[in-house]
Amino acid sequence: MRLLNVHTRQLEEFFGEGIPLYAILSHTWGAEEKQGYAKIDGCCRQAARHGLRYVWIDTCCIDKMSSAELSEAINSMFRWYEAANLCYDYLEDVASGLDAFGPRSKFQTSRWFTRGWTLQELLAPRRVLFFASDWTPIFDSTVAGSLEGLQGGQGPMRSKQPQLLSGIAGIPESVLQRHKETIFRFSSVQIFLGGVTTRIEDMAYCLLGILGVNMPLLYGEGDRAFVRLQEVILSSSDDISVLAWGYDRLSWKLTENQYHS
């Protein structure tokens, strides 16, 4: 695993039990992402404030020119988010000082929530901190659903944070609050969250960690990636709901009454 040292801004490689404490960044890619050093700098500064020496940022910690490394990274992504001490959800299109709970809040319509990768980056980390475009804290969501308001989240608003995230992402509060113990009780098809990815294949690949499966990445295969994902799931599970993918697959949302206890 390659991590960025927040003090030296140099990449360092770690293996197995030798991986140090680190923060991980969740964000949207922009047109000039490869030149987006300001975002990297902000993430490093935030991690340093939290006493962490390393961060993982996909734009610089993965060699995307190596198909083998990219495949390993995507298959490991859920575990990396899960193992991070902190996950920074950076909402570049949300200005600071806005009420996240307002009826026309930019927070609720942020592009971050439309991504295919959003589901795993909400569920995998033990602690998620949301930040506005200037790195002002919005609020802090812990893995157990105990949310500590950092801005606009004190008192009654704190208890509304799970409901807010549930409504935006289409994920039941029980899943957000109880983490993986609950998410794996959903059928495979219910886990699918409609979203947007740059590559068609990533709509399947972003589900690998959530579903607990691995498979090789073959960019250029298009929707065939879903077929391969179905085959992998069916080879180790009797959950035939996965066969429903393809029927308006981009409109699936999780609802509380779809949960099977």
Hunting for tokens 């509304």 — which residue is that? 160
Same domain assignment for residues 46 and 149: yes
Q: What is the pLDDT of residue 156?
A: 42
Q: What is the pLDDT of residue 252?
A: 38
- DSSP for 28-67, please give it: ---TTGGG-HHHHHHHHHHHHHTT-SEEE-HHHHS-TT-H
User: Given 160, 180, 200, which residue is the final one in a domain?
Assistant: 180
How many C-beta atoms lie closer than 10 Å to residue 138's C-beta?
A: 24
Q: Where residue 88 sits, what CATH number does that domain have?
A: 3.40.50
Same domain assignment for residues 107 and 196: no
Query: Alpha helices of the chain — where are they, by DSSP H?
Result: 37-49, 58-61, 67-83, 118-123, 156-169, 173-178, 180-183, 188-191, 202-205, 208-211, 224-236
Same domain assignment for residues 176 and 191: no
Residues 6+ apart with CB under 8 A from 196: 114, 115, 116
Q: What is the pLDDT of residue 215?
A: 86
Supply the pTM of this predicted model.
0.78
Q: What are phi and psi of 100, to 5 degrees?
A: -65, -20
Same domain assignment for residues 167 and 189: no
Residue 203's domain comprises 183-260
68-74 long-range contacts (CB < 8 A, ≥24 apart) are 70/217, 71/216, 71/217, 74/205, 74/208, 74/217
Same domain assignment for residues 112 and 200: no
**Distance linking the first and last C-alpha atoms of the chain:** 36
Give Cα separations from 245 to 66, 228, 258 (angstroms): 30, 12, 16
Same domain assignment for residues 225 and 170: no
Same domain assignment for residues 174 and 191: no
Q: What is the pLDDT of residue 244?
A: 56
Give Cα separations from 36 to 23, 42, 47, 59, 165 (angstroms): 18, 10, 17, 9, 27
User: Given 180, 202, 223, which residue is the final one in a domain?
Assistant: 180
User: Given 157, 180, 203, which residue is the final one in a domain?
Assistant: 180
Q: What is the pLDDT of residue 246?
A: 52
The per-residue pLDDT string of the chain (261 residues; one tens digit each, 9 = 90 and over) reads 999 999 999 999 999 889 999 999 999 987 766 657 899 999 999 999 999 999 999 999 999 888 889 889 989 999 999 999 999 999 999 999 888 888 778 999 999 988 888 888 888 888 899 999 999 998 776 543 333 433 444 444 455 777 888 888 777 777 776 544 444 444 444 445 455 666 778 777 888 877 788 888 888 888 788 788 878 877 876 665 555 555 444 443 444 444 433
Q: What is the pLDDT of residue 178?
A: 53
Residues 6+ apart with CB under 8 A from 198: 29
Same domain assignment for residues 76 and 200: no
Same domain assignment for residues 122 and 176: yes
Same domain assignment for residues 227 and 109: no
Q: What is the pLDDT of residue 195?
A: 59
Largest CA distance in the chain: 50
Same domain assignment for residues 47 and 161: yes
Q: Count of domains in the chain?
A: 2
Same domain assignment for residues 83 and 187: no
